[in-house]
A and B are shown apart, each in its own frame.
Chain A
Amino acid sequence: MELIWQGVVKAVELVFGFDAEVWQITWLSLKISGCATLISLLIGIPLGIALALTRFPGRSLVAASINTGMGLPPVVVGLFVSIFFWRSGPLGFLELIYSPTAMVAAQVIIAFPIVAGLTMASFQSLNPNLSLQLLGIGASRAQLLWLLCKEARLPLLAAVMAGFGGVISEVGASMMVGGNIRGQTRVLTTATVLETGKGNFDIAIALSLILLALTFAINFFLTRIQQREQLRWPRLS
């Protein structure tokens, strides 16, 4: 307990003492995972919608791959992204290994199947006749898609939260493709691993608490938006 208490005190000191390195690490974590989530949304949402609303040969195979991808181990992603970005690898000429860009790439591979899978499920949960009804009162294809996205906004926000949660908390891929280089690719999770390894439990606890607080703050914000219009269960007397 003593150890945890020391960690909490250290966290307060680091955050409110405006420790430059901790702020830099936190900001980098946010930037990398934020970027990766955004890119995952841009890929995952259209893919999820396409899988939910259209029929094409091989659709089941793609859908099953996406669902498998939702549980992809970050270490496996880290391994393959490392191989691709390795100096002698197929994308080695880009010289991206151990860079924040490589970390974003790895995190996108982790997050986009989560976003696509949940988007697909949220669109499939809509009444299939809703599309016909909206076309039946004069919606164009583009208007139809926009209205369906609006209608599925609650589960879509869950997809955003799950995607962000998946990448901000992963450590394996970031460590492997980022290299945990101080000031360049060190993020909250990799820093926590390093400090734990060194036996600096107070700093490790402090970093974990910052990570938790950050994740909570973002999810709290998204949940507020999501729940604002959620129907309440009737109060039973």
Chain B
Amino acid sequence: MAQTLLALRDVVVRYGALGALQVPSLDVATDDMLAIIGPNGAGKSTLLRVMGLLQRPSAGTVLFRGGNGHDGDPVQIRRRIATVFQESLLLNATVYENAALGLKLRGVSKDEIDTRLRPWLDRLGIAHLGARSARTLSGGEAQRTSLARALVLEPELLLLDEPFAGLDPASREALQHDFQRIVKEMHVTTVLITHDRDEAFALAERVGVLKAGHLLQLGSREEVFLRPKTDSVAEIVGIENRLAGVVEGSDGDCSVIAINGARIYARGEFKTETRVVVCIRSEDVSLVSVSCETKNINRCNGKIFEVVSGRRHHRVSVDCGSFHLVAVLDRKRGAEQVLMEGDEATAVFSSAAVHVIGAEKGC
């Protein structure tokens, strides 16, 4: 069992009368790779500042290795944590001086700084920029410098506040890739704040969903992304098809859910007469012309009312009469089908792809 590194207990942050954050309990274990996702203004950055002992909560405690982080000299504990923000926030100095700053603040000798820093500059691909002024760097280079400055400290806890958000897609993908490799190699306990679901899914093992200052769900990334507990979480993790319905009945391991008169089959037994929200990921919906009558497959006939073509996918919205469904089809497949707005189409998805929120299991 991994040891708890950082724990938040009954943490409340208020700005005036406004409650910005309310977290009854949150634990970060050693070697954890936790992502906190949520919409803008959810309190993600406030949470990160509280975790990094950069902001004292209005109430509650922040425990670092069991001890109260705000007791005694917070600098000594802060020096075991490193924080990286969305902006690279470098000083008007060279890349090398910026990357060395954290070690210099800890009174590390010049020779030792050099020995420790060089490998990190190499790992992050900025060794050749050492003598360059930080003001002349591109966004990606600046953020690499900022990450080197934090990682060279070999912190017990690394806190990242949307570090890849301001970068162009190419720089972002390259840096995410390098970062993923480094974190896996170095086993750095990391908390990543992001509003990018793909980034959270790609980098984190555990995911927390924050909305309006409340932690709505915290669990493994599969649990949170595939089995959200509430409609809000489902929305935040990007489930586009969320339909309100009532459990009509169950038959063995399959239940029937009525949605505006239409019926959808869901895997599992749920209490009848319960109001539920049915979640179907748009990538699990396909459009076919062949009919296949089986209870494990849901078929919804309808009319395409919107086709949005992306670089990799087509996003097709189908009006099924009782409800709308969104299907995300990869371009190849979409191109074969030649989808047009106004065309008749049948949306097909397996009962196993239906996640039901709000009903207890069992009839």
CB–CB A135/B78 < 8 A = yes
One of B85-93, B232-240, B337-345, B353-361 at the interface: B85-93
Which single member of A132, A137, A231 contacts B101 (CB below 8 Å)?
A: A137
Query: What is the chain B residue whose CB lies nearest that of A142?
Result: B75
* Interface 1/0 per residue, A40-78 and B, CB below 8 Å: 000000000000000000000000000000000000000
CB–CB A138/B85 < 8 A = no
Q: Does A147 contact B (CB under 8 A)?
A: yes
CB–CB B91/A150 < 8 A = yes
Q: How many A-B residue pairs have CB under 8 A?
A: 55
Residues 126-151 (chain B) with a chain A CB within 8 angstroms: 133, 135-136, 149-150
Q: Does A2 contact B (CB under 8 A)?
A: no
Chain A: minimal CB distance from B73 (Å): 9
Residues of chain B contacted by A200 (CB below 8 angstroms): none
A229 to B134 Cα, complex, angstroms:
12
Residues of chain A contacted by B105 (CB below 8 angstroms): 137-140, 143
Q: Count the B residues whose beta carbon is within 8 Å of the partner chain — how many?
A: 26
Which single member of B52, B82, B87 contacts A129 (CB below 8 Å)?
A: B87
Residues of chain B contacted by A133 (CB below 8 angstroms): 83, 85, 89
Q: Would you call the interface of chain B mostly helix, strand, loop, or mixed?
A: mixed
Q: Does B159 contact A (CB under 8 A)?
A: yes
CB–CB A129/B92 < 8 A = no
Query: What is the chain A residue whose CB lies nearest that of B88?
Result: A133
Q: Does B312 contact A (CB under 8 A)?
A: no
A129 to B81 Cα, complex, angstroms:
17
CB–CB B54/A229 < 8 A = no
Q: How large is the interface on A (under 10, 10 to 19, 20 to 34, 35 or more residues)?
A: 10 to 19
Q: Does B49 contact A (CB under 8 A)?
A: yes
Query: What is the chain A residue whose CB lies nearest that of B87?
Result: A129
CB–CB A127/B91 < 8 A = no
CB–CB B92/A132 < 8 A = no
Residues of chain B contacted by A151 (CB below 8 angstroms): 91-92
Q: Does A9 contact B (CB under 8 A)?
A: no
Residues 184-225 (chain A) with a chain B CB within 8 angstroms: none
Q: Does B331 contact A (CB under 8 A)?
A: no
Residues of chain A contacted by B83 (CB below 8 angstroms): 132-133, 136-137
Residues of chain B contacted by A137 (CB below 8 angstroms): 82-83, 101-102, 105, 149-150, 153
Give chain A's interface residues, CB within 8 Å of chain B: 127, 129-130, 132-141, 143, 147, 150-151, 229, 231
* Nearest 6 Cβ contacts at the A-B interface: A136-B83, A137-B102, A138-B79, A133-B89, A140-B75, A138-B105
Listed by A's residue number, 18 A-B pairs whose Cβ atoms lie within 8 Å are A129-B85, A132-B49, A132-B54, A133-B83, A134-B101, A135-B78, A136-B52, A136-B83, A136-B159, A137-B101, A137-B150, A138-B79, A138-B106, A140-B105, A147-B91, A231-B133, A231-B135, A231-B136
**Other 4 A-B pairs with CB < 8 A, given A132-B54, A132-B83, A133-B85:** A138-B102, A139-B105, A147-B91, A229-B92
